[in-house]
Amino acid sequence: MNGRILLPTPSGGLETYALRGGPAPRPAGGAAFNRIAYSAAHVVADPLAAADPWLDCAIDWDATIGYRRHLWSLGLGVAEAMDTAQRGMGLDWTTSLELIRRSLDAARDFPGARVASGCGTDHLAPEAARTLDDVIAAYEAQVAAIEALGGRLILMASRALVRVARGPEDYARVYGRILEQVREPVILHWLGDMFDPQLRGYWGDEDIPRAMDTALDIIAAHADKVDGIKISLLDKDREIEMRRRLPAGVRMYTGDDFNYAELIAGDGAGDLPTHGHSDALLGIFDAIAPAASAALAALAAGDTARFHEILAPTVPLSRHIFAAPTRFYKTGVVFMAWLNGHQGHFSMVGGQESARSVLHMAELFRLADRAGVLERPELAIERMAQWLTVHGIHQP
């Protein structure tokens, strides 16, 4: 196709689009970072399984673990069994635990590889929760299962806790009980309701400043058991405010897929070194992994200009992938993995390959090209053309 493809336009027409971007540079093997960087990794469905895609969770384990090896080879950590992996949105707890086990086993081939695993209460249906003790017991069960595998924990937000809690003091009670028991410091996760509407009012208040005060009080009371907190509110000012109030030794992990570049680079302000920048735990790093790795290596080498040069064009792509309804961002992440040849199909757990429109995906393709994150442009054009043909847009 000579670097050209016919794409739909918002006006209802078609345009011939010519590729213009180039692949972002990859850092040399073993490049060191001065930020901790986790990619929340997606799972690869098994489209040939004898299962109902909307109801059953069939995973291609080889391809799924292969993608984690790709991330580790780029120096990125893996945040396992998180919402990017469709946790609680197609991926159940039993399959999540198997995913965590396989990921931890594979990480042993990569000395120093980071894996942090999502620990929640998703095996307890929110409507089945009656008391705080039900929520505590659910958390305890998953903590024990993951720690038995040698895993480190990301303490995920709980839909069941939202249902039964009556105020901030109930969150303090539940988190206090769990943090007293964990073996190693955990990462807390504050996931906004744009990602999961069932988490509205987390920390016992819909007012963000008051909710932040509650979370900070819990962290301060158990600072020795908290490695950091990831907040996914898509509000950079709130994140900066919170990270400047964190106790010594507690990190801010940005989950802001709209403003990650400036948050990771930081402003150097605050009373402690970690107050001046955010570390990273991002779903978008799954889709732009080589660019993220190259940018982080540049930042560690003191070349902040190069860091921004690499990441700046990825931000419009990320904002598009995470556009409202934000919870459908997984569709764009998996589409990128398919375009780049990391899996042989575009099928998803829960049938979520259908969650975005043809126009959305066409714009994703344009933005990915401009960002330089189409790793194999000829393959990307071939696959995009195949996908468009299925949707009635035939190439000349």
Q: What is the mean pLDDT of each run of 10 residues along the chain (396 residues)?
A: 90 95 69 94 97 92 98 96 96 97 97 96 97 98 98 98 98 98 98 95 97 98 98 96 97 98 96 95 97 96 96 97 97 98 97 97 97 95 98 95
Strand positions, DSSP E, the chain: 4-8, 14-18, 37-40, 77-80, 115-119, 152-155, 186-191, 226-232, 251-254, 279-282
Rounded Cα distance between 31 and 29, Å, is 6
pLDDT of residue 26: 76
Mean per-residue pLDDT of the chain: 96
pTM of the model: 0.96
**d(Cα 139, Cα 54) in Å, to the nearest integer?**
27
Question: Rounded to an integer, what distance in angstroms lies between the CA atom of residue 298 and that of residue 265?
Answer: 11
- Report the pLDDT value the prediction gives residue 184, as an integer from 0 to 100: 98
Strand partners, 187: 154, 228
**201, 328, 348 from 195: Cα distances, Å:** 13, 8, 18
Query: Model confidence over 346-368: pLDDT tens digits?
Result: 999 999 999 999 999 999 999 99
- Residue labelled with tokens 């190693």: 184
